[in-house]
Amino acid sequence: MDRQLEQVLHNVQKPARYTGGEYNAVVKDRETVDFRFAFCFPDTYEIGMSNLGLRILYGVLNKMEGVWCERVFAPWGDMEDELRRTGLPLYGLESGDPIRDFDVVGFSLGYEMAYTGVLDMLDLAGLPVRAADRDEHHPLVIAGGSCAYNPEPLAAFVDVFSIGEGEEALPELVECCRKGKAEGWSRKELLRRLAQIPGMYVPSLYTVTYREDGTLASFTPEEGAPAVITKRIVGNMDQAYFPVDTIIPSTEIVHDRVMLELFRGCIRGCRFCQAGYVYRPVRSRSKELLARQGKDACRSSGYQEMTLSSLSTSDYPPLVELCDDLLDYCVPNHVSLSLPSLRADNFSMSLMQRLQTGRKSGLTFAPEAGTQRLRDAINKDVTEEDLLTSCRTAFTGGWSSVKLYFMLGLPTETDEDVLGIADLARKVYFTWRECAPDPKRGVRITVSTSCFVPKSHTPFQWEAQNTMEEYQRKVNLLRDALKRDKSITYNWHDPETSYLEAVLARGDRRLADVIEAAWRDGAKLDAWSEYFSFERWMKAFRRCGLDPSFYVHRVREKDELLPWDMITAGVRREFLWREREQCYRALITPNCRRQCTGCGANRLNGGVCDG
Partner 1 sequence: MVDHRLLFEKAGRARFISHLDLMRTFQRAFFRAGIPIKHTEGFHPHAFISIALPLSLGYSSQCEILEFGLQAPLAGEEVVRRLNGALPEGVRVLDCYEGGRPIKQLAFLDYRVDLDYPEQSAAEQARQALEELLGRESLVVRKKTKKAKCGYTEVDVIPRIRSWSLEREGARLTLNTVLAAQNPGLNPELIVEALRAERPELAPELSWCHRREALDEAGQPFR
Report the residue number, 360 or 444, with the smaller CB distance to partner 1: 360
Partners of 364 in the β-ladder: 403
**Rounded to 5 degrees, what are φ and ψ at 463?**
-75, 155
CB nearer partner 1, residue 3 or residue 484: 3
Cβ neighbors of 532 (< 8 A, separation 6 or more) are 113, 497, 523, 525, 526
Give the shortest CB-200-to-partner 1 separation in angstroms. Answer: 36
| Contact predicate 125/105, CB 8 Å | yes
Q: Minimal distance in Å, beta carbon 365 to partner 1?
A: 25
Q: Is the peptide bond before 281 cis (omega within 30 degrees of 0)?
A: yes
3-class DSSP state of 221: strand
Name residue 573's amino acid: R
Question: What is the separation of C-alpha 95 from the centre of its chain, rounded to a whole number of angstroms?
Answer: 28
What are the angstrom distances between the C-alpha of 231 and each of 169, 199, 458?
Answer: 10, 5, 15
In whole angstroms, the minimum distance from the beta carbon of 361 to partner 1 comes to 12
CB of 260 to partner 1, least distance (A): 18
Dist CA 595 CA 586 (whole Å): 18
Q: What's the gap between Cα 181 and its chain centre?
A: 32
Name the residue nearer to partner 1 (CB basis): 204 or 301.
301
What burial letters (b/e) apply to 444-454, b meaning 16+ CB within 10 Å?
ebbbbbbbbbb
Residue 417: helix, strand or coil by DSSP? helix
Nearer to partner 1, 85 or 585 (CB): 85
Q: How far is the CB of 63 from partner 1 (least distance, A)?
A: 21
Query: How near is the Cβ of 564 to partner 1 at its closest, in Å?
Result: 42
Cα 341 → chain centroid: 15
Nearer to partner 1, 252 or 324 (CB): 252
Cβ contact 610:285 at 8 Å? no
Task: Decide if 591 contacts 269 (C-beta within 8 A).
Answer: yes
β-bridge partners, 108: 144
DSSP output for 431-476 = HHHHH-S-GGG--EEEEEEEE----TTSTTTTPPPPPHHHHHHHHH
Long-range CB pairs of 551-556, under 8 A, 24+ apart, other chains included:
551/502, 551/503, 551/506, 551/507, 551/508, 551/511, 552/464, 552/465, 552/499, 552/502, 552/503, 552/506, 553/464, 553/465, 553/467, 554/464, 555/462, 555/463, 555/464, 556/215, 556/461, 556/462, 556/463
Q: Which CB sits closer to partner 1, 257 or 474?
A: 257
Minimum CB separation of residue 249 from partner 1 in Å reads: 8
Binding site for partner 1 (CB under 8 A): 1, 3, 6-7, 9-10, 14-16, 18-23, 25, 27, 248, 250-252, 298-304, 334, 358-359
172 vs 305, beta carbon nearer partner 1? 305
Q: Are 229 and 44 in contact (CB under 8 A)?
A: no
Cα–Cα separations (whole angstroms), residue 237 to 58, 183, 233, 241? 18, 35, 10, 8
d(CA 112, CA 157): 14
Least distance to partner 1, CB of residue 251, Å = 5
Phi, psi (degrees; rounded to nearest 5) at 94? -75, -45
Min CB(438)–partner 1 separation in Å: 18
Q: List all residues 6 or more positions away from 46 whose beta carbon is below 8 Å from its beta carbon.
A: 17, 251, 252, 253, 254
* Structural element, H or E, at residue 165: none
